[in-house]
Amino acid sequence: MTDLPVGERKPLAPPVDDSGLVGWARRNLFSSWGNGITTVVLFAAIGWVVSWFVEWAILTANFTASTGAECRGYGACWALIREKLRLIFFGTYPYEQQWRPLLAVVAMLAMLIATSDRRMWRPWRLLAIWSVGSFVTFLLMFGQLHIPLSLFLFAALVIGLGGLAFRRQVGSAGEVNAYRALVAIGVIGIGLRFAGILPAWKLGIAPFSFVETGQWGGLPVTMILATYGLVFAFPYGILLALGRRSNLPLIKGLCVGFIELIRGVPLISLLIMASVMLPLFLPTGVTFDKFLRAQVAVILFAGAYIAEIIRGGLQSLPKGQFEAADAMGLNYFQKTTLIILPQALRVVIPPLINTFIGFFKDTSLVLIIGIFDFLNTANQALVDPAWAGYPGEVYLFAAFVYFVFCYSMSRYSKHLEIELNKGTRR
Amino acid sequence: MAATARDLSNVPSVITLTGVNKWYGQFHVLSDINLDVKEGEKIVICGPSGSGKSTLIRCINRLEEHQAGDIVVDGVTLSNDVKNIEAIRREVGMVFQSFNLFPHLTILDNLTLAPIWVKKMPKKEAEEIAMSLLKRVRIPEQALKYPGQLSGGQQQRVAIARALCMRPKIMLFDEPTSALDPEMVKEVLDVMIELAREGMTMLCVTHEMGFARAVADRVIFMDRGEIVEQNEPEAFFANPRNERTKLFLGQILHH
């Protein structure tokens, strides 16, 4: 076909690879003597490890023993996991009430899965998902909720401000006035509450027995610390990153100072400060829940890291994007939320999810201040003398659960990258 | 082909620059610029690289800040007042050398963004205007694609449509064809010529001298931050008076 004159040649299909599995193996695994030997040795090694593991973990494992002594002579003692499963997952939560943390975990998973769907990424939908999900989660965990009036006022203020920020330009007059009314109610109400004119009224919802945070343990604790830690740290990190790029020296200085300070200390020291030193500075009688203090420490810490990642994304954008947005007459807020952040966040999905995964695992450090997260309750399962001597099984199981969560996040990150870049790449 | 020398003396001016100066550190990038642009006037600004021509037009919509002198655009004096700046930017459209379309938005969303958010236009109306402008730049069929899927020439035409979507009084072009492959320059220039014929006030930094001859009322030559020479295109190209202009024209016209 190449003997046709120039200009009349037709495009040809690329050559087809028809050599099959054997051809693929020859090219990729046995292309030379050295490669062939390496392949054989590695396959033998992998085969040996896998066969040993299968024999230990499945073929000779004991699933039914009722004490550790009965496991002697067998491979893995999975009976221990069976026996301690509820302790590992729910810690010291009252035994007969443990259906509640189980449902709380289900509620949180449902909330996270719903959030991971891009069709839900609308302010109102997210607000609905997270308020319902959080309400259910904490109602189940605590058993009773007493929501103070000021929280409602604060919610009205936040919703009103958010609505004004996003919808003032595009919403109808009635809608915008509704936001103004919400802001006014929030501001006036909180002012009156502080002045002591409004009473300390609380909305009490008490369908179950009350379980304080000190009795919480296991997977729900890890999930709450990680989920709410990151959910609050994320917007907070965005604000820090924007603040760090601000032209106003005071804001910039505060943000830089905060980020450097938090990044400069280990999470453990921050947790210890939150649990031991903070109460010393508070006036007597004022106490914060230990769990809440740990949660705040995680938020502050994660926020600083997320801020630096997002700053990287902001810096990767060409200057022209900022200029084009400016030249159109968009104000700072519109420019940031419509043009800059959507692009910057897209760029930083891989490092962001990397940090999320890191923090999911780092929450296990709260065991230092006596909170029973998942890894800590797994540890507790080893304390029972009747089951002494099988730490491998317990840690392997804990590792497996962590892996399921982290691997899901990793896959989701990959999926999101492809999804968001659909159309924007040729 | 040549634009007839129009008498613009009775037409009101829309942009007035008086004694504008600007420095980058020690470097004097704009030196005592005086310029008066009439309504509907088309000005082509040329000059060697680093002569301050881009900086000059970027000062008009405050992408760059001038340090001395006055810039009055459509009756509003540029100052640090954000309201002033935003008012001017609503009236002044800009087209960049590197297109600067928003890659995460479809072509249609690129066009409707500013009308919806800055002018509070209903979405439907904004989309109608956007589609009619896309027809005008001859790419309505690309409306739902993303910028990355278009050729350079198509992207620049979208950028022009995007600027026009705000119904600006003035259009600034910062080397709109310099980043394009040669075969795409014409499609962009055709759109610009059409726009000029419709009476838009245009300030255009470009080295496309064919474009200057076709539509410009005035050609300005800048060098080292100064306006060295300005004239109507015929006279400007036929007998440049300044030595630097002659040198520059010699370099860009004979190769």
Over residues B84-115, the pLDDT tens digits come to 898 899 999 999 999 999 999 999 999 999 99
Is residue B187 within 8 Å of B171, Cβ to Cβ?
Answer: no
Q: Is residue A184 in some structural domain? A: yes
Which of A371, A389, A404 is a domain's end point?
A: A371
A150-170 tens-digit pLDDT: 888 888 898 888 888 777 766
| Residues A195 and A255 grouped into a single domain | no
Task: Choose the weakest-confidence range: A9-23, A71-85, A175-189, A293-307.
Answer: A9-23
Shortest distance, CA B249 to any CA of chain A (angstroms)? 30
Q: What pLDDT does A118 receive?
A: 85
B112-150 tens-digit pLDDT: 999 999 988 889 999 999 999 999 999 999 999 999 999
Q: Is residue A269 in some structural domain? A: yes
pLDDT at B252 over 50: yes
Interface contacts A/B by beta carbons within 8 Å = 78
Nearest to A117 by CA among A344, A415, A341: A415
| Residues A263 and A169 grouped into a single domain | no
| Inter-chain CB proximity A326 and B114 less than 8 Å | no
Shortest distance, CA A170 to any CA of chain B (angstroms)? 6
pLDDT at A78 over 90: no
| Residues A199 and A228 grouped into a single domain | no
| Residues A306 and A338 grouped into a single domain | yes
Question: For testing the chain A interface, which of B100, B124, B175 should be mutated: the one with the most A CBs within 10 Å?
Answer: B100
Q: Where are the beta strands (DSSP E) in chain B?
A: 13-24, 27-38, 42-46, 68-73, 76-77, 92-95, 170-174, 201-205, 218-223, 226-231
What average pLDDT does the segment B1-24 reach? 79
Q: Is residue A8 in some structural domain? A: no
| Inter-chain CB proximity A318 and B120 less than 8 Å | no
Nearest to B104 among A318, A323, A343 (CB): A343
> Which chain B residues are within 8 Å of A330, Cβ to Cβ?
113-114, 117-118
With bands split at pLDDT 50, 70 and 90, how would you rate the model's confidence at A412?
Answer: very high
Q: How far apart are CA B164 and CA B174, in angstroms?
A: 15
Q: Which residue has the higher pLDDT, A425 or B189?
A: B189
A279-313 tens-digit pLDDT: 777 777 777 788 888 898 999 999 999 999 999 99
Q: Is residue A30 in some structural domain? A: yes
Question: For testing the chain B interface, which of A319, A328, A336, A421 should be mutated: the one with the most B CBs within 10 Å?
Answer: A328
| Residues A196 and A255 grouped into a single domain | no
- In SS3 terms, B190-215 reads as HHHHHHHHCCCEEEEECCCHHHHHHH
> Which amino acid makes up residue B106?
T
For chain B, give the percent of residues with pLDDT over 70.
97
Is residue A105 within 8 Å of A133, Cβ to Cβ?
Answer: no
What average pLDDT does the segment A245-267 reach? 92
Q: Does A330 touch chain B (CB under 8 A)?
A: yes
Q: Is residue A380 in some structural domain? A: no
Q: Is residue A325 in some structural domain? A: yes
Q: How far apart are CA A253 and CA B130, in angstroms?
A: 43
CB count, 10 Å around CB of A66? 11
SS3 B118: coil
- Which residue is closest to B173 within chain A, CA to CA? A327
Burial B217-228 (b: 16+ CB within 10 A, else e): bbbbbbbebbbb
Is residue A65 within 8 Å of A77, Cβ to Cβ?
Answer: yes
pLDDT at A421 over 90: no
- Which residue range forms the structural domain that includes residue A53? 20-59
A201-212 tens-digit pLDDT: 778 888 888 888
Return all residues near A58 (Cβ < 8 A) that are at least 6 apart.
A75
Ramachandran area for residue A91 (φ above 0: left; ψ -120 to 50: alpha; else beta): left
| Residues A37 and A164 grouped into a single domain | no
| Inter-chain CB proximity A328 and B146 less than 8 Å | no
SS3 B7: coil
- As for how many domains chain A has, the answer is 3
Q: Is residue A83 in some structural domain? A: no
> Which chain A residues are within 8 Å of B96, Cβ to Cβ?
320, 323-324
Q: How far apart are CA A83 and CA A182, in angstroms?
A: 52
ipTM: 0.91
Q: How many Cα atoms sit within 13 Å of A307 on the Cβ side? A: 26
Shortest distance, CA A423 to any CA of chain B (angstroms)? 6
What average pLDDT does the segment B59-64 reach? 92
| Residues A223 and A367 grouped into a single domain | yes
- Which residue is closest to B97 within chain A, CA to CA? A320
- Which residue is closest to A347 within chain B, CA to CA? B104
Contact residues, chain B to chain A, C-beta under 8 Å: 61-63, 82, 86, 89-90, 92-94, 96, 98-104, 106, 113-114, 116-118, 120, 123, 145-149, 162-163, 166
CB count, 10 Å around CB of A307? 27
> Which chain B residues are within 8 Å of A170, Cβ to Cβ?
116-117, 120, 123
SS3 B11: coil
> Which chain A residues are within 8 Å of B90, Cβ to Cβ?
329
Cα-Cα-Cα-Cα dihedral sign, residues A216, A218, A220, A223: positive
SS3 B176: coil
Q: Does A391 touch chain B (CB under 8 A)?
A: no
Q: How far apart are CA B113 and CA B126, in angstroms?
A: 9
> Which chain A residues are within 8 Å of B92, Cβ to Cβ?
327
Question: For testing the chain A interface, which of B65, B73, B107, B117 should be mutated: the one with the most A CBs within 10 Å?
Answer: B117
| Residues A255 and A338 grouped into a single domain | yes
Q: How far apart are CA A305 and CA A20, in angstroms?
A: 48
| Inter-chain CB proximity B89 and A326 less than 8 Å | yes
Crossing angle of helices A391-420 and A78-90, rounded to 10°? 60
| Residues A184 and A225 grouped into a single domain | no
**Token pair 């255009």 in the structure block, residue:** B204
Altogether, the residues listed in chain A come to a count of 426
pLDDT at B254 over 70: no
What average pLDDT does the segment B3-25 reach? 83
Q: Quick one: which H or E segment has residue A374?
A: helix A374-380
Question: Which CATH number do you get for residue A228?
Answer: 1.10.3720.10
| Residues A180 and A240 grouped into a single domain | no
Say what the pTM is: 0.84
| Residues A162 and A237 grouped into a single domain | no
| Inter-chain CB proximity B100 and A318 less than 8 Å | yes
Which of A179, A205, A231 is a domain's end point?
A: A205
Q: Is residue A34 in some structural domain? A: yes
| Residues A276 and A346 grouped into a single domain | yes
Which of A59, A84, A109 is a domain's end point?
A: A59
Angle at B98 between CA B96 and CA B101, to 5 degrees: 80
- Which residue is closest to B162 within chain A, CA to CA? A328
- Which residue is closest to A426 within chain B, CA to CA? B149
Nearest to B148 among A169, A346, A425 (CB): A425
